């Protein structure tokens, strides 16, 4: 703590009474935009944030994100902390350590590692407990199946319905810095408010090829946790809600981040950084009929994590710094979404949500149709034979459906970006507006030739 207080004094910050208050004070004591412009490179917002991350990890004994540690080391520290306790090797029957045999029925592996396992000393202990274990075994198996399928569907949905404009990614001190354009290039060209996430930047020299896909998913999933429970909430309920289960929304701050992401937006007043580690995040806690609790966090890739499903106690111990509050999981429901899917006010946020709702509603209906012959999604998840083959087919068809559902949206006269008379970004909501504006929007080639002259663009 002496070192921590010395660092606080060095940064001209008040020294609080507790380590927790100290870390949080350092997190949120950001300079104003005017002060940022006067700071030297060494005192930059980014440098200050990196220093805050280091001090936070040192103070709480967490995996440290430092400028002198490589990504491989960070990967080991962050992942092993969760794995070591998840596979405790304690016999579920007799309670003795050194269990060597896992029940294959409820064994859940993610990225080649067991995250949920019921372990026994041997066949004798497993046989003695088989009847008591059967119900929870089936429940956990269905949970594992549902989690992997929802994760794949949500990842693809996010990939094809991205609303921000990422133009590049660099790596600084173990932090991924994603450059976000202001949105003007899309507006000048009258582009659709949603687009496929750009993946070509991951092949740049600034990002190692070995982690390219992880980088894409980390940036793509940044700040998407609320979409899991809001936009995609009705589909999440289809996969996970059933009699005897309880779903809760948990709002929290995270810790033990393997690789943070910083969003950098360049504005006329300077660079603006937003760190995903300093935001409140939303995940789902599910309680099974047996009383077992698990964490569902499908945007976990934004922190470099793989475990979108894990035992709750382990997740809380190693991934959650502080729980702000917990509330019952609730969605607006399909009927409410249908009434809101076309609110034509031209506001970018409203229209963006409307375009996403169309894709989600279509996917929901598609899943109901394709699983009807199994007795619904619940029956599909409980298949005893042929599940893997059926799963592969269902997911492939769902991805194709989402692609097909989103493609026609781009041809509609609505959901196109433009500048209104006050030079604010707006979205077309009728054919008349679209037809007037399409004469003014730049073709890509012409925009590329003019984009380096902002004053001329504004005049045009």
CA 446 to the chain's CA centroid: 35
Question: What's phi and psi for 47, nearest 5 deg?
Answer: -65, -40
Q: 30 pLDDT exceeds 90?
A: no
DSSP three-state, residue 21: helix
Choice between 25 and 354, residue whose per-residue pLDDT is larger: 354
Least confident of 132-141, 179-188, 242-251: 179-188
Six token digits for residue 251:
């709002």
Nearest-angstrom CA–CA distance, 430 and 345: 10
Higher confidence at residue 455 or residue 394?
394
Q: Which of 180, 254, 162 is nearest to 217 (CA)?
A: 162
Question: Domain extents for the chain?
Answer: 2-61
When pLDDT is averaged across residues 384-394 and rounded to a whole number, the result is 95
pLDDT of residue 116: 93
Q: What is the pLDDT of residues 318-331, one digit of tens each?
A: 999 999 999 998 77
Half-sphere exposure of 112 (CA within 13 A, CB side): 1
pLDDT band at 231 (very low <50, low <70, confident <90, very high): confident
Q: Using alpha carbons only, give the angle 226, 229, 234 rounded to the nearest 5 degrees.
A: 145
Residue 78 has pLDDT above 70, yes or no: no
Q: What is the pLDDT of residues 392-419, one digit of tens each?
A: 999 999 999 999 887 777 778 888 988 8
Assess whether pLDDT exceeds 90 at residue 167: no
The CA distance from 321 to 128, in Å, is 39
Q: What is the pTM of this model?
A: 0.79
pLDDT of residue 209: 56
What are 274-310's pLDDT values in tens digits?
A: 888 888 899 999 999 999 999 999 999 999 899 999 9
Three-state secondary structure call for residue 84: helix
Average pLDDT over residues 52-75: 40
Chain centroid to CA 275: 14
Q: What is the mean pLDDT of residues 72-93?
A: 54
Q: 182 or 256: whose pLDDT is higher?
A: 256
Predicted confidence (pLDDT) at residue 28 exceeds the cutoff of 70: no
In order of 45, 111, 313, the CA distances from 285 in angstroms are 35, 21, 11
Predicted local confidence at residue 172, as pLDDT:
80
For residue 414, what are the contacts with CB-CB under 8 A and spacing of at least 6? 342, 344, 351, 427, 428, 429, 430, 434
């Amino acid at each position: 703590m002496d070192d921590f207080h010395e660092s606080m004094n060095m940064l001209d910050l008040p020294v609080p009474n507790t380590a927790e208050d100290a870390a949080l004070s350092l997190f949120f004591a950001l300079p104003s935009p005017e002060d940022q412009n006067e700071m030297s490179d060494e005192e930059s917002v980014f440098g200050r944030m990196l220093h805050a991350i280091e001090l936070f990890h040192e103070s709480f004994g967490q995996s440290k994100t430092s400028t002198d540690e490589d990504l491989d080391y960070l990967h080991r520290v962050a992942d092993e902390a969760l794995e070591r306790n998840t596979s405790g090797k304690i016999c579920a029957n007799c309670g003795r350590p050194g269990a060597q045999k896992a029940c294959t029925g409820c064994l859940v592996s993610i990225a080649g590692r067991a995250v949920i396992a019921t372990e026994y000393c041997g066949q004798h202990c497993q046989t003695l407990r088989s009847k008591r274990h059967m119900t929870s075994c089936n429940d956990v198996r269905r949970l594992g199946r549902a989690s992997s399928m929802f994760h794949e569907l949500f990842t693809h949905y996010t990939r094809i319905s991205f609303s921000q404009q990422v133009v590049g990614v660099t790596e600084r001190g173990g932090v991924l810095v994603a450059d976000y354009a202001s949105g003007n290039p899309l507006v000048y060209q009258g582009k659709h408010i949603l687009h496929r996430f750009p993946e070509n930047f991951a092949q740049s020299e600034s990002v190692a090829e070995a982690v390219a896909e992880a980088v894409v998913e980390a940036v793509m999933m940044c700040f998407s946790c609320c979409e899991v429970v809001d936009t995609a909430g009705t589909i999440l309920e289809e996969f996970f809600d059933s009699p005897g289960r309880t779903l809760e929304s948990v709002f929290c701050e995270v810790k033990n981040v393997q690789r943070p992401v910083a969003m950098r937006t360049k504005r006329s007043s300077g660079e603006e950084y937003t760190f995903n580690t300093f935001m409140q995040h939303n995940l789902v806690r599910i309680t099974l009929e047996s009383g077992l609790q698990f964490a569902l966090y499908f945007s976990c890739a934004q922190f470099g994590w793989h475990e979108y499903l894990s035992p709750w106690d382990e997740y809380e111990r190693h991934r959650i710094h502080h729980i702000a509050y917990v509330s019952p999981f609730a969605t607006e429901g399909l009927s409410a979404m249908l009434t809101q899917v076309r609110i034509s006010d031209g506001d970018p946020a409203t229209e963006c949500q409307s375009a996403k709702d169309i894709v989600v509603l279509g996917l929901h209906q598609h899943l109901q149709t394709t699983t009807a012959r199994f007795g619904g999604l619940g029956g599909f998840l409980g298949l005893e034979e042929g599940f893997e083959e059926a799963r592969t087919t269902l997911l492939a068809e769902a991805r194709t459906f989402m692609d097909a559902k989103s493609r026609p949206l781009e041809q509609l006269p609505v959901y196109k970006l433009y500048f209104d008379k006050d030079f604010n970004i707006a979205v077309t909501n009728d054919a008349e507006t679209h037809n007037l504006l399409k004469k003014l929007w730049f073709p890509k080639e012409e925009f590329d030739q003019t984009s380096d002259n902002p004053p001329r663009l504004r005049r045009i």
